[in-house]
Copies of this chain bind each other. A is one copy, B any other.
């Protein structure tokens, strides 16, 4: 792409580093900012800079938080005996949206991925073990809610090994045919697993 201006080129290059944003989309976004008032761009960049420099993480569950301990960890209405282990903040948001979970969380900050150079030490796994030791058997259950990918499964396997010494039940979110999904369009691995791990019929 030939740019009419070095300023546009630099901006497009930076914007297109974001995941899922190609050069064409980046150019469209940058030209949109040019058409809007300078104030709009300033508001956008200010919000991003403030977010990035001031962001904090909960000292207990490592979720993003504006306070030292997040509102979920602080809440007296949440069941502290169940910890749901997730990869990222957006997983917490997705599970909170279901309104089906009343325990607390632990945000790993990713999954084990040798391909991307992410090992167990890069994640909040030691922190989880410390947290369980500090809790002194008040925690009864760890729910693993990781992505059903190779990396997610590897991480779940590793976590299960590390958690063996604690007398804590380790569970995993159910895998199966999605609600509303058509059987014939479900991939065979999911369908196969959903048959082999069938459950008693519930009304």
Spell out A's residues near B (CB within 8 Å): 1-8, 10-11, 13-15, 17-21, 25, 27-35, 38, 40-45, 47-56, 63-66, 70-71, 88-90, 92-93, 96-97, 109-110
Contacts and interface: CB of A to CB of B under 8 A. Distances in A.
A65 B4 contact: yes
What 4 A-B pairs have minimum CB-CB distances, sorted nearest first? A45-B45, A41-B52, A11-B51, A14-B47
6 contacts: A7-B54, A15-B47, A18-B32, A19-B28, A41-B48, A41-B49
Given A6-B66, A7-B55, A17-B40, A89 B48 contact: no
Contact of A48 (B1, B14, B54): B14
Given A44-B17, A48-B14, A34 B64 contact: yes
A91 to B, nearest CB: 10
Q: Say how many copies of this protein the assembly contains.
A: 2
A45 B66 CA distance: 22
Contacts of A6: 66
Contacts of A110: 35
B17 A90 contact: no
Given A64-B5, A96-B2, A97-B2, A90 B43 contact: no
